[in-house]
Amino acid sequence: MQLTEEQIYRYSRHILLPQVGGVGQEKLLRAKVFCVGIGGLGSPVALYLAAAGLGTIGIADSDQVDISNLQRQVLHYTDDIGKPKTHSAREKLEKLNPDVDVIIYEDLITKDNIREIVREYDIVIDGTDNFPTRYLVNDACFFEKKTLVSGAIFQFEGQVSVFKTHGGGACYRCLYPEIPPEGLIPTCEEAGILGAVAGTVGTMQAVEALKEILQIGDPLVDKLLTMNALNMSFNTVKITKDPDCNLCGEKPAIRDVEECKEPDCDYEEKPIS
Amino acid sequence: MENNKVNTQIDITKEICPMTFVKTKLKLETMSSGQVLEVTLREGEPLINVPRSVEQEGHKVLDIHREEGDVFKVLIKCR
């Protein structure tokens, strides 16, 4: 691969970095990242990856843009209300950087399609908002041996971690073995979020994905970074691989991707008309 | 110093900072260890900054000499 004159200018601030250079930029242009969810977390992730010249960005989301999304989902604009989020996102990402190949998945991600999609990518970004999908994504990454960059947000708090079971690391189920009981999962009335916190956490996920592709620095593998925006405190705790994990432990009970349920709060996603 | 065999050349007299160093760095990335790059650049900012940045990335500046007017040639040995 030979950088074009335009690419040399576009990526000059990457190329200047001793840890990146032209060689690193070419790695980014060849890389493939799959973003599950293109909302509060997925938007900043995909924006920074596209700006960085990520070769292929896959985006999966079956929702349409709602006015209540716009407070934090920065890829979608007021004019996009009612459009599929994947279409709205692809439009912006292609405008930002024509070098990027954006592949969209408009169907719901299920146990029947997730493995074959994940198989096509190097890294998976979890930008989902519910436990069943998080487990599904985690399990697919385990079986397909892909690195998972996980992010989550709640009110003023956020967390980021990288799960790399194919490198001997812990998985999401080692950290959260099962869906918390009803009552511990925040209801939709409690699930407020400061938009900029989504941007902060999503941006950190993008940084971890870029580091992983470039193979630089220390990744958040087997570490959980937590942040509290109210006092702007950051903390990192160690995650230990669980030998009794149902998925990646010594006697796994889970043999393939499966779907689980959590209590619905079905008026959450109804559009305001 | 005059005996250094030049393997590759690059003219960055038309570039401005930081593209002066970006172009030089990309050229060095295509070279093998020990090979010598001859960079043609202008006096002032490029002459001050390019040799310094190149050394910060571990390459060795072998020679700097005035070609004519405000144009200089810098010889760099690839790390």
Chain A partners within 8 Å of B23 (Cβ): 8
Residue B43 in any domain: the answer is: yes
Report the chain B residue with the minimal C-alpha distance to residue A12. B22
| Angstroms from A55 CA to nearest CA on chain B | 20
Round the average pLDDT of chain A to a whole number and report it: 94
Respond yes or no on whether the N-terminal peptide bond of residue B18 is cis (omega within 30° of 0): yes
pLDDT band at residue A182 using 50, 70 and 90 as cut-offs: confident
Instruction: Using CB atoms, pick whichever of A9, A16, A21 lies closest to residue B29.
Output: A21
- What pLDDT was estimated at residue A271? 40
pLDDT in tens, A71-81: 999 999 999 99
pLDDT over 90 (residue B49): yes
Number of domains in chain B: 1
Chain CA centroid to CA B9, Å: 9
pLDDT band at A264 (very low <50, low <70, confident <90, very high): low
Point out the residue among B18, B56, B57 whose CB comes nearest to the CB of A12: B18
Is B3's Cβ below 8 Å from some Cβ in A?
no
* pLDDT of A92 above 80: yes
pLDDT tens per residue, range B1-40 = 456 799 999 999 999 999 999 999 999 999 999 999 999 9
Test mutation, B16, B22, B24, chain A, max A CBs within 10 A: B22
Say yes or no: B26 contacts chain A, CB-CB below 8 A: yes
Predicted confidence band of residue A11 (pLDDT cuts 50, 70, 90)? very high
**Dihedral of alpha carbons B19, B23, B26, B28, sign:** negative
In A11-84, alpha helices (H): 12-15, 21-30, 42-51
Say yes or no: A16 contacts chain B, CB-CB below 8 A.
yes
- Find the CB nearest A18 among B23, B26, B57: B57
Chain B CB contacts of A16 under 8 Å are 18, 21-22, 25
Q: What is the CATH number of the domain that holds B14?
A: 3.30.110.40
- A9 to chain B: which residues are within 8 Å by CB? 19
Q: Is B3 inside a domain boundary?
A: no
pLDDT for A42:
98
The answer to the question of residue B31 being in a domain is: yes
Tokens coding A88: 């709205």
A201 Cβ contact partners less than 8 Å away, ≥ 6 residues apart? A41, A151, A152, A153, A158, A159, A160, A227
Q: Binning pLDDT at 50, 70 and 90, where does residue A265 land?
A: low
Of A246, A45, A266, the C-alpha closest to A152 is A45
Residue A220: per-residue pLDDT = 98
Decide if B25 and A21 are in contact by the 8 Å CB cutoff: yes
| CA A42/CA A198 separation, integer angstroms | 9
Q: What is the pLDDT of residues A114-148, one digit of tens each?
A: 999 999 999 999 999 999 999 999 999 999 999 99
Give me the domain span that covers residue B23: 8-77
Q: Is residue B2, in this structure, part of any structural domain at all?
A: no
pLDDT of residue A212: 98
What confidence category does residue A273 fall into, taking pLDDT thresholds of 50, 70 and 90?
Answer: very low
Q: Are the beta carbons of A22 and B29 separated by less than 8 Å?
A: yes
Binding-face residues of A in 196-215 toward B, CB within 8 A? none
B78 catalytically annotated = no
Q: Mind listing the domains of chain A with CATH numbers?
A: 22-238 (3.40.50.720)
| Of B7, B8, B13, B17, catalytic | B17
pLDDT at B2: 52
* Per-residue pLDDT tens digits for A156-169: 999 999 999 999 99
pLDDT reported for residue A261: 77
Residue A135 CB-density burial (10 A; 0-12 exposed, 13-18 middle, 19+ buried): buried
